[in-house]
A = this chain, B = another copy of it.
Amino acid sequence: MSNQMLTPPTLSVKTAGREHLLNQQGKVIWFTGLSGSGKSTLANALELQLHQQGKHTFLLDGDILRQGLNQDLGFSDKDRTENIRRVAHIAKLMMDAGLIVICAFISPFELERQLARTLAGDGRFIEVYLNTPIEACEKRDVKGLYQNARAGKLGNLSGIGSNYEIPANAEVTIDTSQTSVTEAVKKILTFIKM
């Protein structure tokens, strides 16, 4: 038995029909950046704003998914890759459901971000790169991760023991050490014309 032997069914209800019913177009808004760069905070503020406008949204957050679906994955390059591969597919499925899907993941590698973009399709994927300097992220250090990494107690932290590849094609770039949450959300909403 192999996946190549399967014949996927043709479904009657399509994305367009779901979007018509929801009165909106599905999208993926993808936040990428170092730990402490402000991804979860901004994603949450953005979702709240969209929700209050009556938009149908869902937020996929890295730390939340790692306690459920992705609890089997660690922080090696291989596991980080698989982490984002799964999320890219789930974001696409939810977008096909007609939702505005907001993703908040370090997502350190260009290849997986590219996969997420390709799956969502042109014009439906908005990459928001938080280029907050690592010094500012480290100063916040809400989770104590940088302190542990500097003390040599924690390997694999993106930007210290693990690589973070700067996005080449981000639609929006924000340094949250220079921009308030309100301004940042406004910038993204202006970009997506909402």
Contact = CB atoms under 8 A, between A and B. Distances in A.
Interface string A1-38: 11101111101110001100110000000000000000
A163 to B, nearest CB: 14
What are the 6 A-B residue pairs with the smallest beta carbon separation, nearest first? A69-B89, A1-B75, A9-B40, A58-B97, A6-B63, A1-B156
A192 interface: no
A6 B143 contact: yes
B54 A21 contact: yes
Interface of A: 1-3, 5-9, 11-13, 17-18, 21-22, 40-41, 44-45, 47-48, 51, 54, 56-61, 63-64, 66-71, 73-75, 86, 89-90, 92-94, 96-99, 142-143, 145, 148, 154-157
A58 B96 contact: yes
A23 to B, nearest CB: 11
Given A7-B63, A60-B93, A98-B56, A12 B143 contact: no
A8 B47 CA distance: 16
Contacts of A145: 1, 5
A154 B93 CA distance: 30
A11 B61 contact: yes
Contacts of A41: 9
Contacts of A86: 69, 86
A155 B1 contact: yes
B13 A47 contact: yes
